[in-house]
Amino acid sequence: MIRRTFPFASAFRYRFLGKLAIACFAALLALPVVWAAPAPIVLTGADRRPATSLDGEWASILDPYFSGLFSFHHEEKPNGWFRNEQAKPGDTRPVEYDFAKAPRLKVPADWNTQRESLLFYEGPIWYERDFDYQPKEHTRIFLHVGAANYHSWFWVNGQKVCEHEGGFTSFNCDVTAAVHAGANFIVAAVDNTRHEDGVPTLQTDWWNYGGLTRSVSLIEVPEAFIDQYDLHLAKPAETTLAPHGNDSGIIGSIHLDHIEGWAHLVGAKPGDTVRVEIPELHATGSGVVDAEGRAVFLLAASGLKRWSPETPKLYEVKISAGADAITELMGFRTIETRGTQILLNGKPIFLSGVCIHAEAPYRTGRANTGKDAETLLGWAKELGANFVRLAHYPHDETMLRAADRMGFLVWSENPVYWAVQFDNPKVLAKAEQQLDEEIGTSRNHAAIILWSMANETPSTEARTRFIETLAGRARALDPSRLITAALLVRAEGHTKIVDDALGKSLDVIGVNEYIGWYEQHPETADVTEWRIDYQKPLIISEFGGEARAGLHGGDNDRWTEEYQANIYRHQFGMFNRIPQLRGISPWILMDFRSPNRPLAGIQDEFNRKGLISDQGQKKQAFIVLQKAYQEHSVGKTQ
């Protein structure tokens, strides 16, 4: 090959090639290098860490062709907009952007509802924020991003610190080497473009809100720090000796509650100690860090009050290792199944619920504040619910902390929605990553009892393998909770049949049905029977119909409050004929934006299945369901 390419003497040939290689190498060294950033990490309880908020107004530049990052050959530019350059006299090339002159966007918030021109926008937008900072010695600094939809890139002082895919989970970028004392700047590019190989994929029935939709901050941790931890109530057992790691000195045959768990440390040495304290219970425990950075512990807790919707008791928990310490608020309870029952703290329970999107009341857009969470869950409490399905993606920490305080059992869902590419290994990896982030971030919320793997997926072999893999992963990450998914059902005449092969891999079967809206009439429910091929608990995870608040008519007039209420009334009788029904969560608490709903004068780009309008108007169906929950006339625990 060399002879054919360079037909001259060997000595000359090699000298030439050597000089060429040196010249090429020198040229490469002269070019600015775009360094690959390490993958973000997951921090449990990140909102419990000391933090410097970066929320507020950020400069923003619309970039629909992404020319700020990619060249016309779609190569990443070494001098992209992340450098935040300022034009100077004598520049040999133009600087075609200026964050100092750019309009502002609020963070956290979606961009769609901040400017009318961005309501339907899908594509990249650049964000920039200046900040002053004084790093401390012997600390590591992480940029904490509550969520950025969907694909995002981050640079600090022109240095790339991370890249992330997924619009509903938090992540943390190590910026220790990028931040310096004094003035700093951060640049982010966020692209909400939908992709076939995304999770979720191209089509959803909710608004594709883009931007830095949840809070952004800088978190400081020691050089050796706790990144993950898990504490939960173990099943009761008789013990004759004090459990390992318990400092209480309790001996003898005593029936105690036991809290078991583990912590993982980054930068710690094998043999280091992790200590756990629950002061109110006078419970302490410790564990020793192993070669993988993990320590396990077991605490005896005498007099513990179990968390439940009726008594949502939270305890202050202190976890410490070396210079690192975290103070959590946690509740302790057990959740399990026995045959077709769901047992909370060992007792059968019926889940009287409602579905909730992370849609902000009144202002619309992505919900992201404590007030948003308290308003939505306050309405659910007024409804009489003890259970909420947080659809169709992980909701933020403010919602989960509110659920802990207010006593709501929670279904938390991975955004595997409708027909993702189930035969694509890269898509599976994305779903696994988001599941890891969801569980890793939120595993210590007593409110969460169900990890949902998916919603309304087609019954195919590839789909079943895909979600079985996710279910196995979820059980390995968190064996203390139940696994579910919202399945589609098929019909034979007036019989609804639940025989989806995925049911074998679930602890609790969820099914969505819309008798009276997408099929038949409300009265069809009166003669509908159910055949369920699994002796497992069943939750009707969706049902309902649309009504515009304030639109009235007869019981059979679609889009009216009366028609929606009529659907609910006929559903209740059907539910009580399903022996293994253990919960319902109608679709949905509040109207929410969806581009799939264009009917002028009725929908106007809103899904109107809410029991409450986006402006807080309660529809007749709210009163119908509220009465059923108050009277316990729907569902059984046995």
Q: Are residues 312 and 426 in the same domain?
A: no
Query: Six-digit token pair at 496?
Result: 């609804």
pLDDT for position 251:
38
Asked whether the beta carbons of 313 and 306 are under 8 A apart, the reply is: yes
Sequence-distant (6+) residues with CB within 8 A of 347 are none
User: Per the domain annotation, does 407 fall within a domain?
Assistant: yes
> What's the pLDDT tens digit per position in 164-220?
999 999 999 999 999 999 999 999 999 999 999 999 999 999 999 999 999 999 999
Q: Is residue 143 domain-shared with residue 274, that is, in the same domain?
A: no
pLDDT at 1 over 60: no
Which residue, 156, 136, 159, 134, is CA-closest to 144?
A: 156
User: Within a 10 A sphere around the Cβ of 519, how many other Cβ atoms?
Assistant: 10
Same structural domain for residues 19 and 109? no
Quote the tokens at residue 31.
Answer: 């070019």
pLDDT tens track for 474-502: 999 999 999 999 999 999 999 999 999 99
Tokens of 484: 């579910």
Alpha helices in 236-322 (DSSP H): none
What pTM was estimated for this model as a whole?
0.91
For residue 378, what are the contacts with CB-CB under 8 A and spacing of at least 6?
406
What is the mean pLDDT of the segment spanning 283-308? Answer: 96
Residue 392 CA to residue 594 CA, distance in Å, equals 13
The verdict on 174 and 268 lying in the same domain is: no
Q: How confident is the model at residue 540 (pLDDT cuts 50, 70, 90)?
A: very high
Boundaries of domain holding 72 = 46-222
Question: Residues in the chain, how many?
Answer: 638
- Closest to 44 in 3D by CA, of 451, 444, 396: 444
Q: What is the mean pLDDT of residues 536-562?
A: 98
Residue 329 lies in a domain: no
| HSE value, Cβ hemisphere, 13 Å, CA-based, for 570 | 24
CA 396 – CA 403 distance, rounded (Å): 11
Q: Are residues 374 and 361 in the same domain?
A: yes
Average pLDDT score over residue span 568-574: 97
Amino acid symbol at 384? G
Mean pLDDT of 558-571: 98
CA distances from 476 to 181, 219, 345, 469, 482 (A): 42, 28, 22, 11, 12
Whether residue 36 is contained in a domain is answered as no
Residues 129 and 7 grouped into a single domain: no
205, 222, 239 — which closes off a domain?
222
CATH, residue 250: 2.60.40
pLDDT at 246: 43
Asked whether residue 557 carries a pLDDT value surpassing 90, the answer given is yes
- Domain-located, residue 40: no
Query: Does one domain contain both 264 and 169?
Result: no
> 344 with 357, same domain?
yes
Q: Based on the fold, state whether residues 52 and 141 are members of the same structural domain.
A: yes
Mean pLDDT of 462-479: 98
Is residue 327 domain-resident? no
- Calculate the CA 448 to chain-centre distance: 12
Which runs of E-coded beta strand occur in 513-555? 529-532, 538-542
Long-range Cβ contact pairs of 566-569 (< 8 A, separation 24 or more): 566/516, 566/522, 567/515, 567/516, 567/517, 567/522, 567/543, 567/621, 568/544, 568/621, 568/624, 568/625, 568/628, 569/522, 569/624
302 in the same domain as 183 = no
Q: What is the mean pLDDT of residues 454-464?
A: 97
What integer pLDDT is reported at residue 36 of this predicted model?
61
pLDDT of residue 252: 42
Position 16 confidence tier, pLDDT thresholds 50, 70, 90: very low
Residue 400's SS3 state is helix
Q: What is the pLDDT of residue 255?
A: 58
Average pLDDT score over the chain: 92
Same domain, 270 and 419: no
Q: How far is CA 13 from the centre of its chain?
A: 60
What are the tokens at 441?
A: 């971030």
Residue 207: φ, ψ to 5°: -75, 140
- Same structural domain for residues 377 and 468? yes
Maximum Cα interatomic distance, the chain, rounded to a whole number of Å: 98
Residue 399 lies in a domain: yes
501 burial level (CB within 10 Å; 0-12, 13-18, 19+): middle
pLDDT tier at 90 (50, 70, 90 boundaries)? confident
What's the rounded Cα separation, in Å, for the pair 494 and 484?
26
Q: Which of the listed residues 289, 322, 355 is the one where a domain comes to its end? A: 322
Residue 461 lies in a domain: yes
Q: What's residue 237's pLDDT?
A: 54
What's the number of domains the chain is made of? Answer: 4
Q: Which pLDDT value is given to residue 142? A: 98
At 584, which helix (H) or strand (E)? Answer: strand 581-584
Tell whether the model's pLDDT for residue 241 goes beyond 60.
no
pLDDT at 351 over 50: yes
pLDDT band at 319 (very low <50, low <70, confident <90, very high): very high
**What pLDDT sits at residue 92?**
81
pLDDT in tens, 374-408: 999 999 999 999 999 999 999 999 999 999 999 99
Give the residue among 173, 178, 171 at the shortest CA–CA distance from 156.
178
In a domain, 637, yes or no: no
Residue 638's pLDDT is 76
Domain end point (choices 169, 197, 222): 222
Percent of the chain with pLDDT over 70: 91
